[in-house]
Structure 1
Amino acid sequence: MDFAGLKLKNPIIIASGPTTAKIEHLEAAERNGAAGVSIKHVMTRQTYQGKLRCYSSPERVMVFPSDKRLDLAEGLELIRQAKKRTSLAVLVNFSSQEPDLEAYGRLARQFEEAGADALEINMCCPNFGLGQKELGLADEEAEGGALTGQNPKLAAAIVKIAKENCSIPVIPKLTPTALDIGSVAEACVRAGAAGLSLVGGPSLAAPPVDIYQGGRPLYPLMGRSSFGAITGSAIRYNTFKITAQVAERVKVPLTSSGGIDTWEHAIQMMMWGAMSVGICTATMWRGFEAVAAIRRGMERFLEEQGYASYEAIVGLSLKYLTATDRIELGRGHAEIDPGRCKACGACLKPGHCDAVVAEEQQLKVLADRCLGCGVCVGLCKFGAIRMVEEA
């Protein structure tokens, strides 16, 4: 694949995070079939000395209030090691904490000289700047991370400076918290972005609390705590939305991360408009073997469905997208297969529905009452309910 000037053997990139902070991580990623990696966020100055802490509910969600970023020297060395010890495409996820925007130009030159294949400018991290602002603790002039990504003019200026100072692709990573991410995307593309990196989710979240310990947040080994970046399965649906939204506004390649746990999720993300997919939290829950399983599943799908390339599936779902007032509602109803139905009664439970009834120890749908909502289909554990389209 050609992604924004990068040659990739498949669409899988390990997204910037705790599993891209060491050369051993990157080597494991390559052994399991990843085509590229975005190294852990590099900062010119540490705004706080974080250590990895998170609320984790496997296969559901992670909430990170704290994690260590790489210093500039660490980032440069990791790039050099990655280019020496792997054949991966290496993206560097970074931001500047310096007062002048020209620092992005200086950083771009340094990263290119170290061997980086592309720059993934971090305009999405919510753990500094945005978190303080949402709690009313930030200065009026506070910028950085997700605050940068909410400002189209600032985002474009940074992209322009970086592009003018290097010959490798510039791929800014945008924040889903922007009021209009499409406008930010368009501004970055006009400034010369070769592609865009997207992530879903509301960006920041709060964890559940221990209701028996005075409401203490369920982070490990922490006293006072804060909101945290949200990742994992829970944000997948918003990543679909963000990907489709941006794909409708710009014509540069997109890489999307956030909630990809299986090969089906990866294929769905590409059909919503992503040309490559980023995987992070799945590797924290299941190791890099998760990457191998996703890659094998994607390859098998393309072969079985007769697609000649990954590019053939990019954006297939966009033709079905329209505004709410233009939705085309089909006529139909639910239908229960008596041969599969176990009469468990789950489909009788929805409080809004009076279409499913029990007659002579069998469940059936009264078609004239059915709203066609589809809730019962998801409730049935035995696959006994399907939606039937009416002429």
Structure 2
Amino acid sequence: MNRCSILQCIFLVCTGVETFAGDSTFLTGMFVNHPSTSFRVVTNQSLKNAWAGDQLATGTTDGAGNFSAGFKLNTESQVLLFIGAAFYKLWLDPGASLNITQKPTGISFAGSVARENKFMYAASLMQPFSVNHGFDQKFQPEEVKTYFDSLETGRWKLYHQFFTNEKPSQKFKDYCEGQITGFTCFSLSQYPMKFIYIDKSIGLKDVPGSYLEFWKKFRIQETDPGSDMYHNALRDYVAFLAMEQDKLRNISAQQERPPQQLQVNADLSRQENQMAIQLQIMDSLLADNPATLAVIKAVQIDFMIKYFDFHNLTRTAIDKYANQFPGSEEARLLTDKWQEKNKLTSSKPSFTLTNNEGRHVSLQDLNGSVVYIDFWGSWCKACLSQMPSS
């Protein structure tokens, strides 16, 4: 063991960070803006761990912002470093070493995977959500498209320079392609949503058809790239294809609005139809990409369980998923969530009545009396299961 490795191990033992022998991955660095700050390193954020990720290491920087962590990594992949309120997307592989140092001019990297992380930092892929387009005050579709097109052009330029001069792994190449295109398409897809559903300053019909042409650049990757941006964009792409297939925008624009309750029912029916179409499109679009299908379809079904009451559609989707991916952790998790939801929604409230003196009474005792009921009170077990803070 060389002197550097010995010092790393001493530091890790002294700070209480778990270490591994042999093919350990070491992450070290210094963030002068984060002295005495808690940090954690996670990977594999997914439905299986409620998007918290698998924790690889935790610790606290010293007074100068130095930190070090050693952990076991099974495969090369994206790893997230959370430090204070900031987070960084890093690329690591088993047995790798990476030093990341914050400087007045930016961030520098050293170690066996320094080149991959230098590229991610230069292409603004390391902290993608720090990219601010500045068009949030009013809906400016053409301006925001121009901005993201320019950003993506710059990223592809760096990409071609990097992969021409360097020869990193195919997995990293696939990941970067997913991150670059996925970031652009997902950002442009989500941009109108703020104005439609939060600000309510525009309607879906106000989004120009030409704006949605950015989807023409989206491509299904041959192998799953392990890219969160790609997965996010892919789900939005499926929703876009479903909307186009069902021609909802044209139907909505031409219909006279029915009475409110009928409109609510029509909206729910339309949403259910959209969900069904999206599931069909996923199966067709990703027939040759089972790894990607397993990820995004599980997320879609989980979304349906959480936010909709499309009983038959959801139950059928879960059963089909279990047949497509037998024995998978996602299938078990979706089944458990579905059973738990059905248990909660079928709960019958049990309660007792007390008068204003605190004595238990029956319904007959209250005949002819004015009764005030705290409906969301602690007596309603079914209510508490749905609204635990009530």
Is the pair's TM-score, using the shorter chain for normalization, greater than 0.5?
no
Shorter-chain TM-score range: under 0.3
More helix by percentage: 2
Greater percentage in strand: 1
Per the normalisation by structure 1, the TM-score is 0.27
Larger Cα-atom Rg: 2
